[in-house]
């Protein structure tokens, strides 16, 4: 009898723990997306992220699959950075370990297929 109660309590707590884990992951993902999309990316923010990743304008353009002129126009403030590119760059800024080089830009393209 005591074992059955223990197992019931254990399974219930385990289930609650799993549910809490996935709920926290979901909330964190939503919070990160909202944080990254809350405002447009400024030219200065783009420049800072590019430098932190260790890319020239041409290098960043190659990694993102866009023209050098696009990166130049974003950094000059002539055009807005598209939301999908801004989101990606902000994630890379906050999670430098996924670049494979602790923020120096090597290995980004090999780890991700950006698809834009």
Does the pLDDT at position 22 exceed 60? yes
Residue 50 lies in a domain: yes
pLDDT in tens, 28-46: 777 776 766 667 889 999 9
Total domains in the chain come to: 2
Task: Judge residue 72's burial from the number of C-beta atoms within 10 Å of its C-beta, 0-12 exposed, 13-18 middle, 19 or more buried.
Answer: middle
Residue 116 lies in a domain: no
Distance CA 4, CA 9 (A): 9
The CATH number covering residue 96 comes to: 1.10.260
Four-residue CA torsion sign, 18, 19, 22, 24? negative
Cβ within 8 Å of residue 113, ≥6 positions away: none
Q: Domain limits at 16?
A: 1-38
Q: Is the pTM of this model over 0.75?
A: no
- Contact between 82 and 73 (Cβ < 8 Å): no
- Contact between 93 and 52 (Cβ < 8 Å): yes
């Amino acid at each position: 009898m005591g074992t059955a109660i223990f197992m019931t309590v254990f399974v219930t707590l385990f289930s609650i723990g799993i549910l809490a884990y996935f709920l926290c992951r979901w909330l964190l993902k939503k919070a990160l997306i909202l944080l990254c999309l809350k405002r447009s990316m400024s030219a200065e923010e783009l420049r800072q992220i590019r430098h932190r990743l260790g890319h020239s304008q041409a290098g960043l353009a190659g990694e993102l699959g866009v023209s050098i002129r696009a990166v130049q126009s974003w950094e000059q403030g002539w055009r807005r950075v598209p939301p999908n590119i801004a989101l990606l760059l902000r994630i890379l800024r906050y999670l430098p370990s996924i670049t494979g080089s602790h923020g120096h830009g090597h290995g980004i393209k090999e780890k991700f297929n950006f698809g834009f």
